[in-house]
Structure 1
Amino acid sequence: MHELYLRPFANSIRADVASVMCSYNRLNGSYACQNSYFPNGILKTELGFQGYVMSDWLATHAGYDAINAGLDMDMPDQDFPPIDGQSSTLNVLYSEPVYQFNYGPADVDVRQNHRQHIRELGAAGTVLLKNVDSTLPLRAPRSIGVFGNDAGDVTDGMYFSGAAIGPYGFESGTLPAGGGSGTGRFSYLVSPLEVIKARAAQDNTLVQYITKNTVLLLPLVGGIPGITFANGLGTITPTPDACLVFLKTWAGEGADRTSLLADWNSTAVVEAVAGYCNNTIVITHSTGLNIMPWADHPNVTAIINAHLPGEQFGNSIVDMLY
């Protein structure tokens, strides 16, 4: 418990988080929301949590037992503010609502100045894992290469639901959020490639790119005797001063990941680019842990873990790169 699972919650409590949610599963045989050792013992006593504990939706299986164990709010309950009138058509969990929710106006625009906050938090939450000889920040490189199916704009829509998009998510486009209940329905998305091109123009930097992993890995082929045709990376010339490789790892509620590697043949992609470019910078968008068998490659000069930064991910990563 303490070595593996508790630390993120402890850090959140130190940062004065208002609420902690108890989960669906049983812990040592009893439901999390009525297991006194966790809400009362660890959260409120050991960690000194002063906020309130709420249940996950429909995760409360008893009244007195849960209250006595430290549960403060049963969700969903009465007297909450009206929710967006469009929400019922977006809810894929139940064909018939379990509760008669109090609906308000539909399609309420609540964005305000969130754009700047999301951009700042996306950059602030990014972790620099490797930076050989001050590779970063970039300093007006003559040319940049952008590679990987996580770099461009999405092609399958901006709502990242669950199993409908497969075990590895969507192939084309960057990954701003995971799937399941914690996903987002975005009002717009800013991809890394579009912002890199705009930022590079300020320095008159040449930008070349391939955002399809299968194309990146195509070999050189011959068609006419004595002539070799370029495919994949062979079409990128001259060799960029900096090569940015964008990788992604999908996960969603209700299914387990099958590997700790990033998805879409990511190891081969990094090794191919690093074999071609001696200044390869890898950026990952991931729903969890990754192993990186290419991390010690001599041509991988920087590694950035950008997590799942949301709709401003293009601006956030360029703020970090430059």
Structure 2
Amino acid sequence: MIYTVTFNPSLDYIMRMDHFEAGAINRVSYEHVLAGGKGINVSIVLHNLGHESTALGFVAGFTGDEIERQLDDFPVKHDFVRLKEGFSRINVKAKADNETEINGQGPDISEAAQQELFAKLDRLGAGDTLVLAGSIPKTLPDDIYERIMERLDGRGIRIVVDAEKKLLLNVLKYHPFLIKPNNHELGDMFGVKLTTDEEIVTYAKKLQEKGAQNVLISMAGDGAILLTADGKHYKSPAPKGHLVNSVGAGDSMVAGFLTGCIEHDDNLEEAFYLGVATGSASAFSENLATRPEVEGLLKTIR
């Protein structure tokens, strides 16, 4: 079974305007409300591709009710820790001349709630996959990723980590199965600006030297690069298409990669191409990738 953890789920209020003017009344031409958060996105795309997962994390209040209702509608299995106070955050994604995001802060998460999540994670065992994705809310300890991975270490659980800088670097000692930085995040980890594929590969190898098994680097319109644990690396161009919505594209790539692992008996090259196609399918759509969209794009890069 695949499990995803989203520490700070959200309702994403997505709106479009022809033009945005600060300090004035702006009227939208399109609006949509979606359950969001990186792990939740992974679970939704896995469902769209025909694979079951369970979404874990914390929810609260009326917004938490709506997050659960939307997942039930797919349906996507979930087993959230329900917080007694506050409400799950609302993130505003405004798209006009430029994209602007305003992200809420989310509810307080008590020590007791953290222990409840740990108890759910303790049920995982050999053969399960766990996806840890996204930022950590201010009421959780900075080392929550490390605590989870230390707790599960040695159980034969495949762990995927999609996080920024220190969050990612600090867990490499637990040898995650897959990490997915983008090229800018990879450069930031080492204080350099990466401009060529060769430089990206060089620094991705440094993450492997620190403990990562497989490193998947997304590069937006320039495609992606995968370095595998057995020393191989692959590059794929991005499929051609019109960028509609970049939110969730990286999470979709992770879901596509895991789908490829399931469907191609851990052939990581096939998983890589399916990941690239899935990430692009989400970027080219108002909603997250569907199977027909992914298969159509996969033909263009294979």
Per the normalisation by structure 2, the TM-score is: 0.29
Query: Counting helix residues as a fraction of each chain, which structure ranks higher?
Result: 2
Instruction: Select the structure of larger CA radius of gyration.
Output: 1
| TM, length-normalised to structure 1 | 0.27
Q: Which has the higher contact order (CA 8 A, sep 6+)?
A: 1
